[in-house]
Amino acid sequence: MSATELLTNSLANFLQIYLLLIFVRILLTWFPTVSWMNQIASFLSPITDPYLNVFRSFIPPIGGLDLSPILAILVLQVVAGLFSNI
């Protein structure tokens, strides 16, 4: 395995893990009253919110519903797919 293949595979794996963290973060926002989930959300927020905030600046919440994670996940999946196909 060459260095380029190792780098692209590592980056694709990192993006898949980051995508999973975003999914977990979004799912945790559905259950704000469970106390142990707040600890996990407070750990994931500084990791995932900078990326999600980029898309929140383009798509404001509509009626209290934040649709920006949909676009954020879509973009992340496309980028991860590009790296996994190289």
Residue 47 neighbours by CB distance under 10 Å: 12
Q: In 3D, which of 85, 72, 79, 86 has the Cα closest to residue 23? A: 72
pTM of the model: 0.86
> What is the structure's pLDDT at 40?
86
> What is the structure's pLDDT at 47?
95
Tokens 């383009």 found at: 58
Render each residue's pLDDT in the chain as its tens digit; 86 residues.
789 888 988 998 999 999 999 999 999 888 777 777 778 888 999 999 999 999 999 888 888 888 899 999 999 999 988 877 76
* Paired residues of 65 in beta bridges: 62
Sequence-distant (6+) residues with CB within 8 A of 21 are: 44, 47, 48
